[in-house]
């Protein structure tokens, strides 16, 4: 600000946040991130990107007792929440949750991509945790929602050249940007990742990325914005936590009427990680009992979600 303007607004009682030089992120940003912004300088390697530099800054400052750094993280995350609310205003948002370990080139990855494509083509806004694995696949499906199934099949084959972000995030991200360059102007979706998980880079297929420093804020915010329900693909501890975070809100009605929950994979959710029996026991006799479903395959999930939505509407 010009010195005269700065003096005027301060004299009028305003609090003016100072510019902070040499930060790898803008704590006062008013818009969500794009993949191009987070992966700028990828040609020099992932370590040179703003995403990697922001994570490195977070590691250096987190837990150091630096109050100013804590304030910058909080201001940034609050600004991201505001931008996310503005972006999603009026949208019917469906969440797709699943593990980061699902590799490109697998049937599970292809299934999650088909799911994202089907949901987006039905008019829903797909939202994921914004990371790799099943999250990337769902965002990919939404990105290619306007293209034919043969395009998705070709993209899946090309991505299979770099199955995982390990050992090289650079190679993994470059493969995604090759897809974006080959099929530009893809469909919109949302990714909500976190720098708390430094080993999980954001995926490049979510058109709008709300990246947070605070994982707890990110987790609750992601589920709270899934107004059209959530599909839970097979996952591990993180996905289990998301199931019960969502179930808790539906159980108590803390976000209003319960929203649909569709769990995919009978073997996984009844035997490997027996979440379903506990979920049904919690739901018994409550409104949320009419909002939960378990399906065997990912291709059954869209119909199950639609059925729960109709039931909630009394149709």
Task: Identify whether 236 is part of a domain.
Answer: no
Task: Identify whether 295 is part of a domain.
Answer: no
Taking 70 as the threshold, does the pLDDT of residue 226 lie above it?
yes
pLDDT of residue 315: 66
Task: Identify whether 307 is part of a domain.
Answer: no
pLDDT of residue 313: 76
Cα–Cα distance, 176 to 35 (Å, whole number): 10
Taking 70 as the threshold, does the pLDDT of residue 14 lie above it?
yes
Taking 80 as the threshold, does the pLDDT of residue 214 lie above it?
yes
- Report residue 67 as tokens: 């109050």
Range of the domain at 208: 31-92+146-226
Q: What is the pLDDT of residues 24-79, one digit of tens each?
A: 999 999 999 999 999 999 999 999 999 999 999 999 998 888 999 999 999 999 99
Task: Identify whether 198 is part of a domain.
Answer: yes
Burial 223-254 (b: 16+ CB within 10 A, else e): bebbbbbbbbbbbeebbeebbebbbebbbeee
Task: Identify whether 296 is part of a domain.
Answer: no
Share of the chain above pLDDT 90, in %: 93
> Mean pLDDT across the chain, nearest whole number?
96
Counting the structural domains of the chain, the total is 1
Cα–Cα distance, 23 to 100 (Å, whole number): 28
Task: Report CA-CA distances (Å) from 97 to 149, 157, 240, 249.
Answer: 22, 23, 10, 16
Cα–Cα distance, 75 to 23 (Å, whole number): 14
């Amino acid at each position: 600000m010009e010195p005269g303007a700065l003096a005027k607004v301060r004299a009028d009682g305003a609090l003016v946040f100072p510019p902070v030089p040499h930060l790898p992120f803008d704590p006062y940003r008013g818009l969500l991130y794009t993949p191009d912004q987070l992966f700028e300088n990828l040609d020099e390697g992932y370590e040179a990107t703003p995403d990697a530099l922001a994570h490195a800054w977070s590691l250096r400052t987190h837990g150091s007792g630096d109050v100013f750094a804590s304030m910058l993280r909080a201001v940034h995350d609050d600004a991201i929440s505001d931008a996310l609310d503005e972006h999603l205003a009026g949208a019917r948002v469906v969440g797709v949750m699943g593990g980061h370990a699902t590799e490109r080139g697998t049937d599970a990855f292809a299934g999650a991509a088909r799911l994202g494509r089907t949901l987006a083509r039905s008019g829903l806004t797909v939202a994921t945790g914004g990371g790799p694995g099943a999250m990337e696949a769902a965002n990919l499906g939404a990105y290619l929602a306007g293209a034919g199934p043969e395009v998705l099949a070709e993209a899946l084959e090309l991505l299979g050249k770099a199955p995982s972000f390990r050992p090289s995030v650079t190679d993994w991200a470059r493969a995604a940007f090759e897809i974006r360059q080959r099929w530009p102007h893809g469909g919109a979706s949302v990714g909500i990742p976190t720098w708390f998980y430094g080993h999980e880079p954001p995926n490049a297929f979510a058109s709008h990325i709300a990246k947070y420093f605070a994982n707890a804020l990110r987790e609750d915010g992601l589920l709270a914005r899934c107004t059209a329900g959530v599909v839970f693909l097979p996952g591990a501890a993180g996905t289990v936590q998301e199931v019960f975070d969502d179930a808790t809100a539906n159980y108590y009605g803390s976000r209003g009427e319960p929203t649909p929950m569709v769990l995919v994979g009978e073997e996984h959710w009844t035997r490997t990680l027996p979440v379903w029996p506990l979920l049904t026991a919690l739901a018994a006799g409550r409104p949320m009992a009419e909002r939960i479903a378990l399906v065997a395959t990912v291709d059954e999930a869209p119909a199950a979600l639609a059925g729960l939505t109709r039931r909630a509407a009394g149709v």
